[in-house]
Amino acid sequence: MKQIIVCNNKQQLYDVLDFVKKDLDPYKVSKKFQFQLELSIEEIFVNIVNHAYETHDNEKKILINSYIETDPLKIVLEFLDEGTPYNPLKNNDPDISLPLEERTIGGLGIYLAKRNVDSIEYKYKDKKNILTIKKNLE
């Protein structure tokens, strides 16, 4: 398992994306796969930055674990923070069939994340929010 710890600010997103990209380099994934995974990572990471902590400073940390599982071959990413307990998966998906001006604000990012990975789970354990995504490499 590989791990990165970053500060709770949006500028750290690029460090997270580079971290995951290096983990995937040996697997020669497609551009489509890379785009889908990066979109999911971005939406989840920004959601944590915006909602987990009351302040966006370098004191608050976000930990990301990355590892590869086999059978089937997949990347697993765990996002951990010690912010306010919040399950972003409990909300209903937005109704994207509605015209833009009729949609409620919020929820689209997590919806996009869910649509671009094979599984996504949330749990609160040991005073930590833990959001886990899995995406098949095959």
| Long-range Cβ contact pairs of 109-116 (< 8 A, separation 24 or more) | 109/43, 109/44, 109/46, 109/47, 110/43, 110/44, 110/47, 112/39, 112/40, 112/43, 113/39, 113/40, 113/43, 113/44, 114/89, 116/36, 116/37, 116/39, 116/40
Per-residue model confidence as pLDDT tens digits over 112-131: 888 899 999 999 999 999 99
Per-residue model confidence as pLDDT tens digits over 29-47: 999 999 999 999 999 999 9
> pTM for the full model?
0.89
* Closest-CA residue to 134 (of 54, 36, 5): 36
Separation between Cα atoms, residue 67 and residue 60, nearest integer Å: 24
User: Rg of the chain's alpha carbons, rounded to an integer?
Assistant: 15
120 vs 94, residue with greater confidence:
120
Separation between Cα atoms, residue 48 and residue 25, nearest integer Å: 26
Separation between Cα atoms, residue 30 and residue 97, nearest integer Å: 29
Going along the chain from its start, the domains and CATH numbers come out as: 2-136 (3.30.565.10)
The helix-helix angle for 31-51 and 108-115 (nearest 10°) equals 150
Q: What's the rounded mean pLDDT across residues 92-121?
A: 70
* CA dihedral sign of residues 111, 117, 118, 120: negative
